[in-house]
Amino acid sequence: MSMTLHATSAFTITGWEPATIDDRDGVSLARTKVTKTFTGDLEGASVAELLMAGAPNDSAAYVGFERVEGKLNGRAGSFILHHNAVSAHGEQSASWTIMADSGTGELQGISGAAQIVIDADGGHTLVLDYDLAADPGAASHE
């Protein structure tokens, strides 16, 4: 049995370490390590590895994986968030989904998706809609 839950947490990017892989003819490739801290329904921290590409006319894309660890609505554990985002010709699309079977601890069996909201002051908020087994032990395979 699972229940759909909602979490909202402000986050701060505490580290941004880009490493250029290739940069020529106006097109760049980079690998970036990003660290964050979260406050709100999710209290914790994360580390992500992003593969980023940039091209002329503000076109860009990135994919990545982020391990989020802490307490989510009071339940301790971690999960992997899969990032996929594209910006081209003024249009943007992005998805952040929880990787299947990546939950640990009391977050075993977690699934769902996130949105990132940027407010007028530039503050970032993670909005997570997720399903979680009602009993954390029910998702384990003993």
- Domain residue ranges of the chain, discontinuous segments joined by +: 2-137
Question: Which residue has tokens 């894309």?
Answer: 61
Question: pLDDT value at position 142?
Answer: 41
Question: pLDDT value at position 90?
Answer: 87
Query: What's phi and psi for 104, nearest 5 deg?
Result: -125, 165
Q: Are 77 and 107 in contact (CB under 8 A)?
A: yes
What Cα–Cα distance (Å) separates residue 112 from each residue in 6, 21, 22, 50, 108? 10, 32, 34, 20, 12
Question: pLDDT value at position 54?
Answer: 97
Question: pLDDT value at position 1?
Answer: 56
Ranges of the chain with pLDDT below 50: 138-142
Question: pLDDT value at position 139?
Answer: 46
Domain 2-137 CATH assignment equals 2.40.350.10:
yes
Q: Would the pTM of this model clear 0.85, i.e. be above it?
A: yes
Query: What's phi and psi for 141, nearest 5 deg?
Result: -115, 90
